[in-house]
Structure 1
Amino acid sequence: MDHATLVGIDLGKHSFHLHGQDQNGKAVFRKKLGRKQLVEFFATHAACTVVMEACAGSHHMARKLATFGHEVKLISPQFVRPFVKSNKNDFVDAEAICEAASRPAMRFVTPKTESQQTLSILHRVRESMVRDRTRTINQMHGFLLEFGVSLPVGRTGIVRLPELLTLHALPPRLIAVLERLHEHFKYLQEQIGEIDCELARQLADDDTGQRLMSIPGIGPITASVLAAEMGDGKQYGCGRDFAASVGLVPRQYSTGGRSNLLGISRRGDKHLRYLLVLCARAYMQRLEKQTGRLAEWVRTMLTRRHSNVVACALANKLARTAWAIVARHTTFNAEFSGLTR
């Protein structure tokens, strides 16, 4: 019964729904298994192709099943949705995963290693803390402004908050709240600093990250994120594919032979896209000090287009350059804005 060559798994937290097909695409079994049962099932099953949606827990499960000799593939959920037949349930989802995986032109997601996942989690924790720090700063600014106290913009005034509180007659309860927020701000500042130091240590031992930092405008944080997300870069056919996966290429709505390009698609990892745009803006702010073909290209673009458009175009170029450096094991040549081996 279980001569399946292709198995689709609809992942869950505690239960997993399996749909198995033979080489002719005929369904041979449907199973609902727990996490432990799933591992035991594939440990004794003949080697086959296992397909899952790229979602929470999929990368760990892919690594686990690959140790049993199975070929594991991950598909983006947006590519599975069109294959769901009418009413939706877990077994139908597993069948749709098999249908999507059987398409010859289907694109798959490369499973991440443990180190890549850990580094990605570290960046997400840092991003969350940065947002919390900004929220705390804004709260302190707002509470003080309610009582007529205006501080300098940013973290400058917040760092000296205990000194400033002694200069104004404020209610004791408000001072207690502000001191509590200030302690929280200092805690977040310390934690973010520790994470930055840890990322810097990891990046110092990573050859890929060091080569990515040779790109103008890209710093340690962005280089670390790129190294974690791209891996070896082999899952992308070219630099444009990587830029498209980040959402930095125009959306296309063409018909009847007439090409119509819209704004950037904004697909993929929004945090990575945000960092690349920030890198582009940082490069543009120091444009008068930049030399080479890339700087000339940016100056020419600024004479024709708005700076926001140029920033997105430059972020697109940085993403393509980053892919080329990772996939071809090269470094950035600032003089010629090219790649050297």
Structure 2
Amino acid sequence: MQDVTLIGIDLGKHGFHVHGQDRHGKALLRRKFDRKQLITFFANFHSCTIVMEACAGAHWMARQLAKLGHEAKLISPQFVRPFVKGNKNDFIDAEAICEAASRPSMRFATPKTEAQQCLSALHRTRESLVRDRVKAINQVHGFLLEFGISLPTGQGTLRRLLSVLAEHTLPARLMSLIERLHAHIKYLDEQIEDIEKELGRQLRKDDLGQRLMTIPGVGPITASVLSAEVSDGKQYACARDFAASIGLVPRQYSTGGRANLLGISKRGDKNIRRLLVQCARSYMRQLERHTDRLARWVRSMLLRRHSNVVACALANKLARTAWAIAAHNTEYEMHEAATLP
């Protein structure tokens, strides 16, 4: 066991399959543990490199193993899949994790801290509540349209929904159902508002989040998401790598020395990509207020490209700027455009 230098763990809800090998790749360890047994085993095991797939529970497990003196690494599941040999089972998955991690060019994910995980949980809860609210609003619009009542779009109409309904005669059962949906929408509004206040309180205590807020077009929601996901930015070699990880660079299909660039790849976290594109559109809507170098670049792009293409290109720039702020511990500096004589 003293020769084991690399261990792969196939994580499960209750069972954990472990594969260990020496520096030559020879298998020396192959065991199954439950959660308590796993922690006890590694508490008494010599320090080594332990690799897991970046999935549910991986970040907590990485923190626990780091406390025990081990070097914990996380690897994306998509990079492990090509190394699965033959039929798939949990031990073969653990072996494939070791095989993938032993590659010199392999990319690893940085384990999140507890604060980052709590912030991510808040954002996911908010997104779920927003989806529920949109669904309930659409149901109200659909039910009323079946009875010849067409409401204007927007949440402002729903705030005075009951006064609008008083002007029309509807079946009592439908009125009761609409009132129930209206109360549900109000409840969702309150929950979303409470979560946004909590996000604001956490953001005020986050130095990186405050610095990300200096980027043009970036608001509190996007800044807190980027703060939780980017961290110190050390897991990316450069700004382009971060932009590529969230799918904001062109997808490439080149062969025979001939470059062929397609649309953006849309890889990685679609929520961050969506928020950055929204930030770009917000900046473009207020373009006349800006005279800096970035605004001049956007105006020149709009003369040559469709606004949707420019929005994605600007989102790419914002992502690279966010990485630079996180990696170099700086703030965004507004550069005024050069004026021609």
Taking structure 2 as the reference length, what is the TM-score of the superposition? Answer: 0.97
Distance in 2 between residues matched to 1:99 and 1:205, nearest whole Å:
41
Equivalent residues in 2 for 1:88-237 (5 A)? Answer: 88-237=88-237
Kindly indicate whether residue 223 of structure 2 is the aligned counterpart of residue 240 of structure 1.
Answer: no
Shift of 1:79: 0.5
1:24-52 Cα deviation digits (max 9, x unpaired): 11000100111111111101001010000
Distance in 2 between residues matched to 1:22 and 1:329, nearest whole Å:
39
1:46 maps to 46
Give yes or no for contact 2:253–2:262 (8 Å, CA) kept in 1: yes
Give yes or no for contact 2:212–2:322 (8 Å, CA) kept in 1: yes
**SS of the counterpart of 1:332?**
coil
Distance in 1 between residues matched to 2:98 and 2:224, nearest whole Å:
34
RMSD: 1.0
For 2:307, the aligned partner's letter is S
Kindly indicate whether residue 41 of structure 2 is the aligned counterpart of residue 79 of structure 1.
Answer: no
Shift of 1:335: 3.2
Give yes or no for contact 1:2–1:28 (8 Å, CA) kept in 2: no
Distance in 1 between residues matched to 2:2 and 2:154, nearest whole Å:
63
1:325 maps to 325
Distance in 1 between residues matched to 2:145 and 2:290, nearest whole Å:
41
User: Number of matched residues?
Assistant: 337
Distance in 2 between residues matched to 1:258 and 1:155, nearest whole Å:
51
List runs of 5+ in structure 1 lacking aligned partners.
none
2:295 maps to 295
Distance in 2 between residues matched to 1:286 and 1:101, nearest whole Å:
47
Give yes or no for contact 2:53–2:97 (8 Å, CA) kept in 1: yes
Give yes or no for contact 2:116–2:229 (8 Å, CA) kept in 1: yes
For 2:140, the aligned partner's letter is M
Distance in 1 between residues matched to 2:216 and 2:29, nearest whole Å:
54
Distance in 2 between residues matched to 1:117 and 1:185, nearest whole Å:
28
Give yes or no for contact 2:123–2:225 (8 Å, CA) kept in 1: yes
Distance in 1 between residues matched to 2:304 and 2:312, nearest whole Å:
14
Structure 1 range deviating more: 180-189 or 255-264: 255-264
Give yes or no for contact 2:52–2:75 (8 Å, CA) kept in 1: yes
Shift of 1:3: 3.2
Shift of 1:201: 1.0
Distance in 1 between residues matched to 2:301 and 2:30, nearest whole Å:
57
**SS of the counterpart of 1:9?**
strand
Kindly indicate whether residue 20 of structure 2 is the aligned counterpart of residue 25 of structure 1.
Answer: no
Shift of 1:336: 3.9
List runs of 5+ in structure 2 lacking aligned partners.
none
1:64 maps to 64
**SS of the counterpart of 2:65?**
helix
Shift of 1:2: 5.5
Kindly indicate whether residue 1 of structure 2 is the aligned counterpart of residue 6 of structure 1.
Answer: no
Distance in 2 between residues matched to 1:2 and 1:308, nearest whole Å:
57
2:305 maps to 305
Distance in 2 between residues matched to 1:208 and 1:161, nearest whole Å:
41
Distance in 1 between residues matched to 2:97 and 2:205, nearest whole Å:
39
Shift of 1:288: 1.2
1:218-277 Cα deviation digits (max 9, x unpaired): 000000000000111111111101101111011111111111111111111111100000
Give yes or no for contact 1:2–1:29 (8 Å, CA) kept in 2: no
Distance in 2 between residues matched to 1:138 and 1:69, nearest whole Å:
53
Shift of 1:152: 1.4
For 2:41, the aligned partner's letter is F
1:117-168 Cα deviation digits (max 9, x unpaired): 0000100000111111111111101111111111111111111011112111
**SS of the counterpart of 2:28?**
strand
**SS of the counterpart of 2:42?**
helix
Give yes or no for contact 1:291–1:334 (8 Å, CA) kept in 2: no
Give yes or no for contact 2:291–2:336 (8 Å, CA) kept in 1: no
1:273 maps to 273
For 2:180, the aligned partner's letter is R
Distance in 1 between residues matched to 2:206 and 2:16, nearest whole Å:
37
